[in-house]
Amino acid sequence: MGLKTDDISHIEELARIKLKEDEKKEIAGQLSKILDYVNKLKDLRTDDVKIGSLFGKGRKQNVFREDKVKKSLPPQEVLKNAPERERNFFKVPKVIT
């Protein structure tokens, strides 16, 4: 799929960014390669793949690794490089008001 600099200009407007002409050409080439690769997905045969074959109510077995309890590091070791701490916790700026 060949994107043109006009396409990139439209994307530039939507994203509210400013690009130089050489950047538009470079990005057009990069995005074209990405879209060509994504279009290859149309060629994949998925007829034999059952919907929800990895997840869902019928799944009885965990496909991930087994959880194992391991000894953790002591708080002093974990917090030794923390810029700020309060007791055994990292102290961070409040982000919710």
Residue 53: what pLDDT?
Answer: 55
* Phi, psi torsion values for 38, nearest 5 degrees: -65, -35
Residue with structure tokens 């007829």? Answer: 47
Predicted TM-score of the model (pTM): 0.46
Q: What percent of the chain has pLDDT over 90?
A: 51
- Inform me whether the pLDDT recorded for 43 exceeds 60: yes
The residue length of the chain stands at 97
Residue 60: what pLDDT?
Answer: 62
Neighbours of 19 (CB within 10 A): 16
Distance CA 63, CA 96 (A): 36
Return the CATH number of the domain spanning residue range 5-43. 1.10.20
Residues 6+ apart with CB under 8 A from 90: 79, 82, 84
Cα torsion 82, 85, 87, 93 to 10°: value is: -140
pLDDT digits (tens, 9 = 90+) for 51-79: 665 555 666 666 677 889 999 999 899 99
